[in-house]
Each structure stands twice: as C-alpha cells, then as structure tokens.
A and B are shown apart, each in its own frame.
Chain A
Amino acid sequence: MKALIIDDERMARQELRRLLAAHSEIEIAGEARMAEEALNLIGHIEPDVLFLDIRMPGMSGFDLLERLDDVPQVIFTTAYDEYALKAFEVSALDYLVKPVVPARLAAAVAKLRPRKVRSTLERVFVKEGERCWLVRVVDIFLLESEGNFTRLYFANERVLIPRSLAALQERLDPDVFFRAGRRQILNLKWVQCVNVGVGGNLSVTLHGGKTVEMSRRQSARFREVLSL
C-alpha cells in the first residue's frame, strides 16, 4: 500500500519512516513538509493512506483534508493535541501520538486496506466550526443542494459543505445514489419506507424520519430503478 507522510518536522518524518520499515506491506511513496506540497503529491501518487500531522505551518492537517475531493485512509500523527482530536466527531481511521509506540502503529497499519480502483467517492472530510467528521460516503443518506453548497445528512448530523450537488453527483455511485429531484440526492440503502401519495407521486422516508417528496417524473424513475 502506498503511504504519504505529511509532517513539517524532518526528524518526525524520519522517525516514522524508521518505524514503518518494519511493515513491508507499506511502501512510502512520498513525504511532504506541508499541506500545499501534499496536495500536489496526493494527485500524483494517489496514496492509499496518509500519515498526517495536524499542526503544520500554513494549512493545518484538517485544512488539507478539506481541500481533497476524495479522502484516502488517514492516520493522524500528533504530539499532543487533545483539542484537535476532540474536534473529531466520527473518529478518523486512527491516530497516533508522538513519539509513536510501535505496537500502536502495528495495530493501525493492520486496519488499513488497499484502495480499490474506483471512480466513485469513498470518503469526504466535513468541517463545521470546530467540529469535523471524516464521513464514509455510504453513510450519507441524503444530499441536499443549497445554492453552490450541499448539505450532507449522516448519523444525526446535517452539515453544509462548499461543493455543489452537481459536482458531487458525478462522483457518486449511481446504483446507490438516486437523484430525487432538482435539489436532492438520496441514498437508496437508507430508504426506510415509500408512500404513495395523491396522483401516484412517491414520498420516501429515510433514516431518522426525514422524508423526501418526489415529482411525478422522478417517481416513475424511482419505480423503475427499484423495479417496484
């Protein structure tokens, strides 16, 4: 698996490299001193995993994730940053405190999976105020357009991200995500019940009781897709 180490301190990168030498399944495909550098490298080498420091000059580790369309697996490395880690609502794949304990690193590495070759989104990083989430796309049950922004519904959260619904739709698996109208895309795996309303229009109830009304045309398509 290809890994990218992102840390502003040379000694810290070197130390991680030394520790990772014990794990032959990890190939260190690159190192970045700061987030801007990392952005370029991620595009080129398409790493399976990022070892990412949170506090860095310029852009922080969180800022970097926010810039990524699709987020690979992430293992945070941090010296001491209770505050930053608390910001995480849905925990990242893992985080390691520096100096890294070899056994903890081994456990984190064991959880890694090679990334499948795929064109669809896997993970998005979402930030709202001081809170942030690394959300698996399959856990999102509804996407709702708000101008150039999109509101994501997952777990008990509804968070706005600065990407348009159209841009997101291009990267979503069409077998799972259904365009329910001009403003909404819903995740078929989270549909709890479907009601037939006047005139045959459907209304779909999703996780948490959120309902989506569909137009006649979309209702017909919905029936088609689910072969109702």
Chain B
Amino acid sequence: MERVLGDKRAILILLGPALFVYTAVMLVPIIWSTGYTFTDGNLIKGFTFAGFDNYIKFFRDPTAIDSLWFTVRYAVILTILQVGVGYLLAVLYTFALRRGSALIRTIVFFPTVLPTVAVALLFRRFFEAAPTTGPVNSLFEFLGLSSVDWLGQPGPSFWVIILMDLWRSMGFYAVLLYAGLVDIPEDIIESARIDGASGWKLIRTIVLPLSLPVLLSSIIFSINGTLKVFDTIVALTNGGPGAATTPLTLYMFRTSFNYGEYGYGSTVALMLTALSFLATLFIFRSTRRDLTKG
C-alpha cells in the first residue's frame, strides 16, 4: 500500500504538469519582474542596469504617490463598507428573516457574478449627466436638487466607484458572513436572551465576538481584493477625470504598456505586492494583540 501511495513515478506524472505551469508562468515571472525593477528600458530598446533609481523615482513621483494614496483610501473605505454592510445583511438574514431569507440572499448575491465591465458601463449610464440625464440625476432633479456631473469630478467619481463596488459585493459578503453566523449554536443565543440581552446588546456581546474569526477572514479577503482593483475602474472612469481615480494597478499598466517603461512598471507592481502583504500582516497582528488583551 505504501508502495502504491508513495509511487515516485506517479507523483511526477500527476503533479509535474501543474507544478511546471505554475513555476513557468507564475514563480519565474515573479522573480523576473523583481529583476526588472533594477533596470531601465523595454523589449524594443533593450535594458540597462539602473540600480535603485526606479525605487527613488517611485517615491518622488507625485502621480505614483497619488495613486498609492488613492489605492489605500479606496481599499480601506470599501473594505469597511462591504464587510460592514455585508455583516448587517447577514444579521438581518439570520435573526430577522430566518428560514425565509434564501430567496433574498440569492437575489442580493446576483450582482457578484455579473461581468464587471457590463456593470461599470451600466453605472456610467445610471449616473450620467449629459447628453441625456440618467436615473440618478433625474431623481435629483425631481427632488428639486440640481443634477451632478458625477464622473466629471474627482470627489463624486470616487464615491460612484465605491457605490458600484458596494452594490456588486455586499451580497457576497452577506452570504460569507451569514455562513459564520448560522454556525453560532442556537442555545447560546437563547440563554443570552433569557438573561435579558436583546437587540444591539445581544449582537455586541454575544454574536460579534463569536463571529470574529469569519469577520477577520472577510476583512483580509476584502483588503486583498480591493488593493488589486482594476477592471471596475478601467471600465467606469478609466482612471479619470485626469488621474484622480487611478489605482496602482492601472498606473502600472499605463507606465508599462503605454509608455513602455518596463523597469518602472515592475517597480510599481512590486510596491503593490508589498502593500498587500503588509496590509494582511497588519490585520493579523492587530487582531492577535486584541485577543491577548481581552
């Protein structure tokens, strides 16, 4: 039996192809890309050694700092909103709707699977100001407010992006967190009710602490996803107006493929990677500290 389950040749045949593809198309490029950060040039021009120039350039480049700042702001705000609203929905499903929540769960989840580009183009029309007035601005006018050029100004564009991503993702986080909430044993909640806890107090003292693990993994998943945002923004604002809504991913794409700066583009990509590792580490650390305190 050990001979069969430890068959070296079979291990090679079954694991080899996956390991080869993964190594050639992911591991090698990661190292290769890190190598690019010390060079200047591109495929056509050729490459020259540049030392740490790209790193210095990154921290002195106002556009890079702006997109770094945009990425962080977007990731933090959207994470708080999508996990927060998702949690509220999950509480609603679990405690208010109970068994009847299946249909609503399914409907609210649906936008998650819609193609991002389609959703972004839809929202562009939905928030349109000119030449035709979209539903949102029509509603504004109906309420006696003046219509807003949502995607023509930096501030409003930011919030349309956030709103759209919240619309897409809250159903997903609701289901994810719901799975954690239904796992809480019924009798714990019952006995807390008998002790007189209800409503917010019940949630704060019993439900929230017990759902901390699934909440934590949602936050990590969310921050990692939002730091890498690309599709939504390209299709909704294409980084504009100006460069006001350009995340690091899009800035990397521009420097690499529009301006052909492979070295600098790779540096931006590496900064993004470092950022997601640091964010994950930070969340892990801060929650562990809290747990030891409590």
Co-complex (A, B): no
Residue positions of A touching B, CB distance < 8 A:
none
Residue positions of B touching A, CB distance < 8 A:
none
